[in-house]
């Protein structure tokens, strides 16, 4: 039986992993919310590692409020960089393999056809800078780690773009959705399955990987997809917009390639 700690377990990816882990008899999951484990506190991490003796740690804990990070970059850094480093140091001490979730926002979005794991990051907002700093710190602390970058994560667990759009469609509200960003929407359940199968395969090809559902589209196109598939009877009209209101600068192309 492989013991696995999952941090940030109350987020949509943590919930998605928990919903699917029952299909993997060889994995014993320990799901820790922020209230159960604050990754910015070193002694809390060491206590949990001693208590549960994990072989893997899946870090889904993160500061993900992109606009808020612009005015609270120190807070984003504390979680996404310092917290990631704290986990990495504990993983090194206790001989644990770290699986850390990162983001398309480590890139500047200037490559029209997308980014591969070997491309050099160049974040253009505070959130992206904090996640890139976390990646670098993990690489300095550990040899055995997987950094999995993903993009436009969505699930049935709110809040996310999918649940927000679907809720408004069910209320028959008209929508204006930007077409100024392009990326690959990724279902959290598919990412959860990828991570769990990575563990059960005992894969030792450590380093940075990209995982998405692989189909590039704009937010506008994604909204249309949601309407056609999940709310075909809605009377809502979805209009293409180019006036997306965001305090943070966001990459125009967030396509992640394998």
Q: Which residues of 197-230 are buried (b: 16+ CB within 10 A; e: fewer)?
A: ebbeeeeeeeebbbbbbeebbbbbbbbbebbeee
Quickly state the pLDDT bin for 131 (edges 50, 70, 90).
Answer: very high
Residue 203 lies in a domain: yes
If one counts the domains in the chain, the total is: 1
pLDDT of 202 over the 90 cut: no
Residue 235 lies in a domain: no
Q: Which residues are catalytic?
A: 127
pLDDT given at position 6 = 98
pLDDT given at position 176 = 95
pLDDT of 30 over the 80 cut: yes
Say which residues have a Cβ less than 8 Å from residue 168's Cβ, sequence separation at least 6: 175, 236
Quickly state the pLDDT bin for 40 (edges 50, 70, 90).
Answer: very high
Residue 234 lies in a domain: no
Residue 169 lies in a domain: no
Q: Which range marks the domain in which residue 18 is found?
A: 2-154+186-215
Residue 255 lies in a domain: no
Q: Which CATH number is 111's domain given?
A: 3.40.50.720
Residue 39 lies in a domain: yes
Cα–Cα dist 7/90, whole Å: 13
Residue 77 lies in a domain: yes
């Amino acid at each position: 039986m492989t013991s696995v700690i999952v941090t940030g377990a109350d987020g949509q990816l943590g919930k998605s992993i928990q919903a699917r882990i029952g299909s993997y008899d060889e994995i014993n999951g320990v799901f820790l919310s922020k209230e159960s484990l604050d990754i910015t506190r070193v002694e809390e991490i060491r206590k949990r590692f001693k208590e549960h003796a994990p072989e893997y740690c899946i870090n889904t804990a993160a500061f993900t409020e992109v606009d808020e990070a612009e005015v609270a970059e120190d807070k984003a850094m504390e979680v996404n960089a310092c917290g990631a480093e704290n986990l990495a140091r504990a993983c090194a001490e206790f001989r644990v393999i770290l699986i850390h979730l990162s983001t398309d926002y480590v890139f500047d979005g200037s490559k029209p056809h997308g980014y591969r794991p070997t491309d050099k990051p160049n974040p253009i907002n505070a959130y992206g800078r904090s996640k890139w700093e976390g990646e670098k710190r993990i690489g300095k602390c550990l040899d055995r780690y997987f950094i999995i970058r993903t993009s436009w994560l969505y699930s049935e667990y709110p809040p996310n773009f999918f649940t927000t759009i679907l809720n408004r469609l069910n209320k028959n509200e008209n929508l204006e959705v930007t077409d100024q960003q392009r990326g690959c929407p990724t279902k959290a359940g598919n990412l959860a399955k990828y991570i769990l199968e990575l563990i059960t395969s005992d894969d030792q090809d450590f380093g940075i990987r990209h995982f998405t559902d692989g189909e590039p589209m704009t937010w506008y196109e994604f909204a249309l997809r949601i309407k056609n598939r999940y709310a075909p009877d809605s009377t809502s009209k979805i209009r293409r917009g180019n006036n997306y209101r965001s305090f943070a600068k966001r990459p125009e192309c967030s396509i992640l390639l394998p």
